[in-house]
Structure 1
Amino acid sequence: MNEAEQNLEFRQLNGVTLAYLGDAVYEVYVRRHLLDNGITRPNQLQRRATKYVSAKAQAGLIALMEQDEKLNEEEWYFYKRGRNAKSYTHAKNTSVVTYRVSTGFEALFGFLSLSNQQKRLDNLAQWCIEQVDNGRVIYEK
């Protein structure tokens, strides 16, 4: 399978499928960041990771991306595919709107991963982590 065929295939995936991968991709960046900062206890890792990966945090990050004009047209397209996709799972501890926005966030990361945009993925993940670390995104229980 050549590169053009691979690109066509990921472009045909629905938003929820992109979000499935994107969730894992972003989670790895967050986990690495926490370990790099010396957090090693499992309960601390889980509690701290929530600040970055919760639906509310991801929705806040999307709002900041819009405010700071961080995404290009194609990235917005894949975000919206995730946000607007029919999902058969339910939001936990958050509104349906927040859950859908976070699904879009995850679809964006899935798209960047599958389209082999590693440098862009690295930059955007780092930017997201910095926004949380700098208090621009506040996780609320």
Structure 2
Amino acid sequence: MANLTAEKRFVQIERLSPLALAYIGDAVYELYVRTFLLMPPKRMADYHNLVIRQVKAEAQAAKLEILEPYLTALEKDILRRGRNACRVKPKRLTLKVYQQATSFETLIGYLYLTDFQRLQELLAKLKSIPKIS
């Protein structure tokens, strides 16, 4: 997508499925959490456990609840698209939690590709990620 004009790139992003946006959003959010938790230095096992607690579906659903009051109509539409893309309930979660987590990832992916500054604004509202003592 790097060689495309901004308008053509936007059109291609708009054509991506919600699950494709969630796929990239999951990676972006995990990188954000890993970066946030990097300091102060910790043992690798501690990093891993902290990251897993923050990127699991239940935590993402909780983060979405924090962000919802700040979202625009377009962002809420992206959430709806992500939620509606979930058709299969995983074994360990309720369908609602899975849908919320997928919606969260879809929004993160969409903003990463279309409006990185807005993504940073919203992620700044989540700086309450707990750190290990």
Fold match by TM threshold 0.5:
yes
Q: Deviations over 1:2-30 (max 9, x none)?
A: 11010011111111110000000011110
**Could you list the per-position Cα deviations for residues 79-101 of structure 1 after superposition, in whole angstroms to 9, with x for gaps in the alignment?**
1111111456x525321221111
Q: How many residues align?
A: 128
State the alpha-carbon separation in 2 of the partners of residues 94 and 25 from structure 1.
22
SS at match of 1:35: coil
SS of the residue aligned with 1:50?
helix
CA contact (8 A) 2:67 2:122 kept: no
1:14 aligns with 2:43: no
Change (3 A) 1:10 1:101: same
Q: 1:57: how far off?
A: 0.9
CA shift for structure 1 position 50? 2.4
Structure 1 residues 36 and 92: CA distance shift in structure 2, 3 A: farther
Partner of 1:103: 102
TM-score normalized by the length of structure 2 = 0.86
Cα distance in 1 for residues equivalent to 2:116 and 2:12: 18
User: Quick one: which of 17, 24, 36 aligns to 1:33?
Assistant: 36
In structure 2, stretches of 5+ residues that fail to align are none
Q: TM-score, normalised by structure 1?
A: 0.81
Q: 2:130 aligns with which of 130, 133, 138?
A: 133
**Matched residue, 1:56:** 58
Asked if the contact 2:86–2:102 (Cα under 8 Å) also holds between the matched residues in 1, the reply is: no
Residue 38 of structure 1, CA deviation: 2.3
Instruction: Give the Å deviation of 1:60.
Output: 1.1
The 8 Å contact of residues 82 and 103 in structure 2, kept in 1 or not, is answered as: yes
Deviating runs (4+, > 4 A) in structure 1?
none
Distance 2:118 2:53 in 1: 22
For the aligned residues, what is the CA RMSD?
Answer: 1.9
